[in-house]
Amino acid sequence: MQNHSKAAPKTTPSKVYVKRLRDWSDDQQINETVLSAWQCLEPTLDFIDKNSFTAIKLTFGEEDTSGYIKPVWLAGILNSLKQKTENIFIVETNTLYREKRSNAVGHLHVANSHGYSLDKIGIPVIIADGLRGRDGQTISIRGDHFENVKIARGICESDNMICISHVTGHMQSGFAGALKNLGMGCASRQGKLLQHSGTLPEIIIDKCAGCGACMSVCPANAIGIKKKKAILVNERCIGCGECTVACRTGAIDIKYDENVVKFQEKMVEYALGVKKALSSKIAYLNFLETVTKNCDCMSKNETPIAPDIGIICGTDPVAVDKASMDLIGIDKFKEQFPDIDLLIQIKHAEKIKLGTGQYELLEI
């Protein structure tokens, strides 16, 4: 008997390039490595012309960390882009938690102190969601969690983007790469809030010393101290996770249940919104060096959890992130966050057709 059932359509793997670099001590060598990776991407960048407003999306890191992408490493890329358009700029959005980068003034001070300023790199820095993170634009996506998403206006108004991500672990998504840089990193404050809502911490009373450190970092006044123990007001909590980092006795934990699943899914739905806003005119470079447990939003330096690998690049953020996970080793992230399945972000990104986790790895 003939079988009339339809075979699942075959997915074409996305091309992902890797340029390996083990020793990250020589800036000149790093710059050359980044440039080699960039040259593989260049033929795909025909969407950049002399009139383009081209955003280079990256993060400057928190004030007291050295775990961020150094501007000197990008000199070759910036020179190459300057030949294509005069309208290039570094773009970032304000943080949800209340550190210096939660408003454009403090944010530009941090950027400047880390070498990102017009006088040092020859291109301006723009905080895309305005002074206080309120300047967003609504983009329709029709996802499972969101009908539409709130993306920073300065990003929506760009013509195209180079998304440069320092790959690390992350306390809520297990892994932070291109998808997180797009999804969380390009959202307005409201968009960031909507992604975080639903992930609540839990206070383990027996471990609580009543020091109040969690209360002082909480951006939402969601923690109080009663009878020398921390108490959480769930309705106020925005799920930013700051208190878990501040607590030195391990008395605060994020509930790693379906909320963490939702967090990753929401994050990639926001990433889809950015891709739609820019009509897919985005290229991605992931830096696989100093891969730490937590992202560069931590105000401290951390010991790497894996050896340095090099630069991964491509035009599909899902493939670029999946290749980054595989090259570093998914187990390295699982050791840090045993209860988080970091492949959720890849699977949901495939489901909503943001890209594919199947890739062809090409060594440069």
Residues that bind ligand SF4 (CB under 6 A): 201, 203, 208-214, 217-220, 222-223, 230, 232, 237-243, 246-247, 249, 251-252
Closest CB 219 distance from ligand SF4, rounded Å: 6
Closest CB 97 distance from ligand SF4, rounded Å: 7
Query: Nearer to ligand SF4 by C-beta: 252 or 306?
Result: 252
Nearest-5° Cα angle at 207, 206 to 208: 95
Question: 57 is written with which tokens?
Answer: 């999306």
Closest CB 254 distance from ligand SF4, rounded Å: 8
Q: Give the list of residues 6+ apart from residue 121 with CB closer than 8 angstroms, or none.
A: 71, 74, 75, 78, 90, 115
Query: Nearer to ligand SF4 by C-beta: 158 or 172?
Result: 172
Query: Nearer to ligand SF4 by C-beta: 117 or 199?
Result: 199
Sign of CA dihedral 324, 330, 335, 337: positive
Query: Nearer to ligand SF4 by C-beta: 40 or 203?
Result: 203
- What does R_g of the chain's alpha carbons equal in angstroms? 20
Q: Give the list of residues 6+ apart from residue 281 with CB closer than 8 angstroms, or none.
A: 47, 159, 160, 161
Closest CB 65 distance from ligand SF4, rounded Å: 19
C-beta of residue 24 within 8 angstroms of C-beta of residue 72: no
Closest CB 56 distance from ligand SF4, rounded Å: 30
SS3 214: helix
Query: Nearer to ligand SF4 by C-beta: 246 or 343?
Result: 246
Closest CB 59 distance from ligand SF4, rounded Å: 19
Instruction: Report the alpha-carbon distance of residue 310 to residue 323 in Å, rounded.
Output: 12
Ramachandran region of residue 285, left (φ > 0), alpha (ψ -120 to 50) or beta?
A: beta
Query: Nearer to ligand SF4 by C-beta: 201 or 273?
Result: 201
C-beta of residue 310 within 8 angstroms of C-beta of residue 227: no
Question: 235 is written with which tokens?
Answer: 């309705």
Question: 275 is written with which tokens?
Answer: 């891709």
Sign of CA dihedral 225, 229, 230, 232: negative
Q: Label the pairing between strands 14-20 and 359-363.
A: parallel
Query: Nearer to ligand SF4 by C-beta: 72 or 233?
Result: 233
Closest CB 67 distance from ligand SF4, rounded Å: 21
